[in-house]
Chains A and B, each alone.
Chain A
Amino acid sequence: SQELEQSPQSLIVQEGKNLTINCTSSKTLYGLYWYKQKYGEGLIFLMMLQKGGEEKSHEKITAKLDEKKQQSSLHITASQPSHAGIYLCGADPKGGNTGKLIFGQGTTLQVKP
């Protein structure tokens, strides 16, 4: 079965610094979702990447999908305290059309003011 591994597991950065979170799949990625979760709360949709080489940005967050490496990265530029939370990557093991997502274990981000 497919597994998603995120690195690092946790991250503490100074406000204003850039950071990158990686999500590596054990099998081919047909699409990749990034969500943000505040502790004990719901998942907030950030971005969805469907094609190899695709890159999307929203405000100061950029995500890329490298299908060959079976990997996606999430990059935050000039981090702010509002970026703090748990970042989750998710993928559909059956190619993107079942709605059955598997998730990584999450990366906890703290941003120090």
Chain B
Amino acid sequence: EPEVTQTPSHQVTQMGQEVILRCVPISNHLYFYWYRQILGQKVEFLVSFYNNEISEKSEIFDDQFSVERPDGSNFTLKIRSTKLEDSAMYFCASSRVIAYGYTFGSGTRLTVV
């Protein structure tokens, strides 16, 4: 069964450093998403991406965050200057047609120290 692949599975970074979280969506999917889950809290939507541009973003997705699809297969989330409160599990998801549901990756656990 096709999978959404995320790397790395764990990342520890110092506060103020830039991090890039990587995702390889399912190959024939057209819509891409990032979500996050702070420990013990709900899964929260960050951003959706379609046709090489952001289609929707949440209040969380401020100027510190950016997304990119650099080469037609990878989908990345960059956090420019990490804060302690950015520590969370970050999930990438993709879908071919929105109405058919979303496939999530296994997540990247980001710890900011």
| Contacts from A to B (Cβ < 8 Å) | 31, 33, 35, 40-45, 48, 50, 88, 90, 96-106
Known: A97-B98, A100-B56, A102-B45. 14 other contacts (CB 8 A): A31-B99, A40-B89, A40-B107, A42-B107, A44-B104, A48-B101, A96-B98, A98-B55, A98-B56, A99-B48, A99-B98, A101-B45, A102-B42, A103-B44
Contact check, A45 vs B31: say whether CB atoms are below 8 A apart: no
Count of chain A to chain B residue pairs whose CB atoms are closer than 8 Å in the complex: 63
Chain B residue with Cβ nearest A92: B98
- A/B interface sample: 15 pairs, CB < 8 A: A31-B99, A41-B106, A42-B91, A45-B102, A45-B103, A45-B104, A48-B100, A96-B99, A97-B98, A98-B55, A98-B98, A99-B48, A99-B56, A101-B43, A103-B44
State the majority secondary structure of interface residues on B.
Answer: strand
**Contact residues in B for A44 (Cβ distance below 8 Å):** 104
Could you list which residues of chain B lie within 8 angstroms of chain A, going by C-beta atoms? 6, 31, 33, 35, 41-45, 48, 50, 55-56, 58, 89, 91, 93, 95, 98-107, 109
